[in-house]
Structure 1
């Protein structure tokens, strides 16, 4: 058990009270406070933790970290006034869990698109080393042999949960931790990932996203670049599996991305640099790419030789994800031939161009695409691969970016033959109103309501009708939900599994699993 002073070792603060008090737990949610806990009062978007300091003390908290001097705890309570409690949470959590990232080889994956997929593929490829691997992603968490769904709807958990999972990875005997690292989590204003002691930093690509949080494109890129800057803060020697181990720092960029140079520069010259690409010169390149609605083939040109890959993954964009995973393996000295065998055995990725196959004569794909950029990417890629009609089932989230709705409708109408507009997460908005806003864009592109564009709020019914309409050679896209386990309404959430719903609808049409 550590003292309050030990937890604050790397936090600038103004101390009050006895900091030798022992801390048995750390919590930023007063409901999770147990006797002997340190309560960290964080100002969130909707809730200010300072309002719950008294409650935390009643629950048994013995110390408080806070950042609002006007809402200080009683003078008799050991406390620390900090500049920003949410930023301080990361070093406090790292100290509480005894700096687990310094006992793992940590790989950070960032980028606008492809983070989740690349995290999953990288973890799978690293397992070819024979070592245990843990990962954290938008879709799943994995520690050693145990994998479970991320139901938090947070791509990057809070710093406390991150450090706790890293500690679990150490205790499970993992050598590697692969961490999906979002711009929000990397931002110094939030600092959820500030104490992950990264050894490998990889970026997939950069587009214009999350400007509601970052303010400008430049700040968004700068927050992404933080991952590469953090390489310099990670110790050059770690204790891996109980053994002192020198760990090389490596920065990996997509050489086809126009912003690659910014991320190379952020990493500096004291690290090893690697790159991957399809078009540009790079350490790992892909050629002879053949994509179908059933899979993907290409040749990888690497420093370990040339390899022919035959993957069960659908979509040319997977080429970049696979090259990225192989780049990490190259950086860690993992045999690429063995890594490729692991990748070729993957039947699909949950909610990412995931095939639903019950012997039907048409293709059904589940994908998380939920914004104009991802619609354009997915639909333009599938259109030339589709022998029959391209059919899309999708909606748009309530209480979120309203401007994208007609744009989604217009893009879908441009590429698809039939559209079934349905609920995604309406929240407190009127479902039909959302669908009408999407339909406005579809109609501008020539679609006619109830002829080739239908508004069906109930998602189950929309999927049933789309699949009942499908014929041999068609491709049916189920978009927007992907891996998510619920649909959010004002009246509450309903449980949801897009893949299972598609299977159920196909079974209703007489198709059965082989």
Structure 2
């Protein structure tokens, strides 16, 4: 299936796949091929690939409750929460997204948030063969625009929020928002099927998406205008507790997740289980035992004398929420380290730098610089700084080590933008191994536990 992508064209690899044994090619235009290789020319090879994949893998989504989560921020957290909550309720579950592919506890790393259509259907088949009952996946705007989700029959579609991101790929925020809306419009028109749309009442785009689907919509938000909303919120870096107001009454929630935005994310997960027929009492009994989401407001080794927090926040809105969540619990100095991604939306750089300097001390680094000059990326962040108490590094690892070595007991460090992403994309798109969390822990153990530290493996 020769699909034309954002950076390359499948037909460029025709000779290679023929040498590997391919005997039939589907493409969007004619190309000279050897006599023993067939060619089918179609308008959209991506849609044709989805159709082929459906039949080859025998419609694997039909045996599972399919849940799609879209939005700028929160996709990974919501999807992982649903996956973990489903397992806690005794169901066999699969997850697919930024943090990889999981069938119950088994984990495989993935390259894309939403894989291309044939690989996606293969994952669905693998889950089906393992008797999973629910399959939760992140649905990116790239995946929707490029047709990667063609043919997937979602039962529940969830919207988290829409803020500035990916404007290197989309022409405007309006285009970005309407592409996200494809998830809700593609639920179809067969109202004999039980399908639901879960919308963030605090985001204006929900009104647009509400009009895009014929199916029932359920809203969640932070005030009483939503169907689901919290009151009596109490929190710390160990978790937030609150009262959940629902159409069926009020329920106390003891949550291990930190931050008001994680209350919203958790409400999405709770609603998704309720829509599948579970009673609130049973759902909420499982919440306190839920595992933290890797790389999302994750506190590393709480026994250390400094708080080291990693988070995937790489948009202005997400970074502001992380800092605002952490600041009330900071007893010493707050340090925020952020990176600027190469070959992406440069327009958010200054705003990211401004938000990072809400902390007492900011550190600027590149993040996945690709073919961009790391010094140029750092400069974009520096232009937004509102105070001079910052420093910059063109090597992210050096910046992380500096953040730890510069901290004193009682201080808090936020390492933003990467979470547990295991690589840095450098020149020529080479992926070099890199983990914010392991670098930070290594530096912290050397500083605070040198007498216990051997080679890092015993602690990390």
TM-score by length of 2: 0.91
Match of 1:54 in 2: 15
CA drift at 1:46: 3.1
Q: Does 1:161 align with 2:129?
A: no
Query: Which residue of 76, 90, 107 maps to 2:67?
Result: 107
Equivalent in the alignment of 2:455? none
Q: 1:424 maps to which residue?
A: 367
Q: Which moved more, 1:457-466 or 1:80-89?
A: 457-466
Answer yes or no: is 1:440 the counterpart of 2:378. no
| SS across alignment from 2:149 | coil
**SS class of match (1:296):** strand
For 2:436 and 2:182, how far apart are their aligned partners in 1?
A: 35
Whole-Å separation in 2 of the counterparts to 1:130 and 1:347 = 15
Report the CA distance between 1:111 and its aligned residue. 1.3
Q: Which one is further off, 173-182 or 480-489?
A: 480-489
**Unaligned 5+ runs, structure 2:** 453-458
| Structure 1 residue 55, shift from structure 2 partner | 3.2
State the Cα deviation string for residues 291-325 of structure 1 (Å, max 9, x = none): 32332121112245433222222222101100011
Distance 2:198 2:212 in 1: 12
Give the Cα–Cα distance (whole angstroms) in 2 for the partners of residues 347 and 454 of structure 1. 35
Q: Report the Cα offset of residue 333 of structure 1.
A: 0.8
**1:418-440 alpha-carbon deviations (Å, 9 max, x no partner):** 12223322223332333233223
The residue that corresponds to 1:509 in the other structure is 447
Task: Report the equivalent of 1:334.
Answer: 278
- Give the aligned partner of residue 264 of structure 1: 210
- Please report how far the alpha carbon of residue 358 of structure 1 lies from its aligned counterpart in structure 2 after TM superposition: 4.6
Secondary structure at 1:192 match in 2 = coil
> What corresponds to 2:456 in structure 1?
none
Return the match for 1:404 from 348, 352, 377.
348
Kept in 1: contact 2:316–2:352 (CA 8 A) = yes
Write the distance in 2 (CA, Å) between the matches of 1:420 and 1:453.
6
**1:368 counterpart (295, 308, 312):** 312
Deviation per residue, 1:456-492 (Å, 9 max, x gap): 3333332222222223432210112212111122274
| Cα 1:41/1:200, change in 2 over 3 Å | same
CA contact (8 A) 1:140 1:147 kept: yes
C-alpha RMSD over aligned residues: 2.3
The 2-side partners of 1:300 and 1:379 are apart by 25
Aligned to 1:299: 243
Q: Could you tell me how far apart the structure 2 residues matched to 1:453 and 1:354 are?
A: 23
- Structure 1 unaligned blocks of 5 or more: 1-39, 237-246
Q: Evaluate the alpha carbon distance shift between residue 419 and residue 201 of structure 1 in structure 2; reply closer, same or farther with a 3 A threshold.
A: same
Distance in 1 of aligned mates of 2:84 and 2:175: 32
- Residues of 1 paired with 2:137 and 2:189: CA distance? 17
Contact 1:197–1:234 (Cα < 8 Å) also in 2: no
| Contact 1:256–1:280, Cα closer than 8 Å, also in 2 | no
Partner of 1:35: none
The secondary structure found in structure 1 opposite 2:148 is: coil
Task: Note the alpha carbon deviations across 1:355-403, whole angstroms, 9 max, x for none.
Answer: 1125223321101112322222222332333232210122212222233
Instruction: Tell me what 1:224 maps to.
Output: 180
Map Cα deviations across residues 192-238 of structure 1 (whole Å, 9 max, x no partner). Answer: 102111111111122233333332333322222211122226796xx
Distance 1:185 1:280 in 2: 34
Matched with 1:131 is 91
**1:121: which partner in 2?**
81
Determine if contact 1:102/1:235 at 8 Å carries over to the other structure.
Answer: no
After superposition, the Cα gap between the structure-2 partners of 1:349 and 1:129, relative to the gap in structure 1 and judged at 3 Å, is closer
Residue pair 2:233, 2:241 contacting (<8 A) in 1 also: yes
Separation (CA, whole Å) in 2 of partners of 1:282 and 1:402: 35
Q: Which has the larger radius of gyration?
A: 1
Q: Report if the CA contact (8 A) 1:284-1:301 is conserved.
A: yes
Per-residue CA deviation, residues 18-50 of structure 1 (Å, 9 max, x unaligned), is xxxxxxxxxxxxxxxxxxxxxx11222333222
Q: For the residues of structure 2 that align with 1:55 and 1:439, how far apart are their CA atoms?
A: 45
Q: Distance in 2 between matches of 1:218 and 1:117?
A: 25
The equivalent residue for 1:500 is 438
Name which of 401, 423, 426 aligns with 1:486. Answer: 423
Residue 454 in structure 1 maps to residue 391 in structure 2:
yes
Q: Distance in 1 between matches of 2:98 and 2:284?
A: 24
Q: Tell me the residue number matched to 1:317.
A: 261
- 1:155, distance to aligned residue in structure 2 (A): 0.9
- How many residue pairs get matched? 451
Give secondary structure in 2 for the equivalent of 1:499: helix
1:124 CA displacement? 1.5
TM-score of the superposition, structure 1-length normalised? 0.82
Q: Which residue is 1:67 aligned to?
A: 28
Counterpart position of 1:80: 40
Alpha carbons of 1:63 and 1:332: their partners in 2 closer, same or farther (altered >3 Å)?
Answer: same
Equivalent pair of 1:124/1:342 in contact (CA under 8 Å): no
Structure-2 separation of matches of 1:388 and 1:347? 28
CA distance in 1, matches of 2:194, 2:138: 20
Matches of 2:355 and 2:344 in 1, distance apart? 19
Give the equivalent residue in structure 2 for 1:255.
Answer: 201
Offset from partner CA, 1:128-171 (integer Å, 9 cap, x none): 44220111111121123422333x1x111100111000011110
Question: What's the secondary structure of 1:388's corresponding residue?
Answer: coil
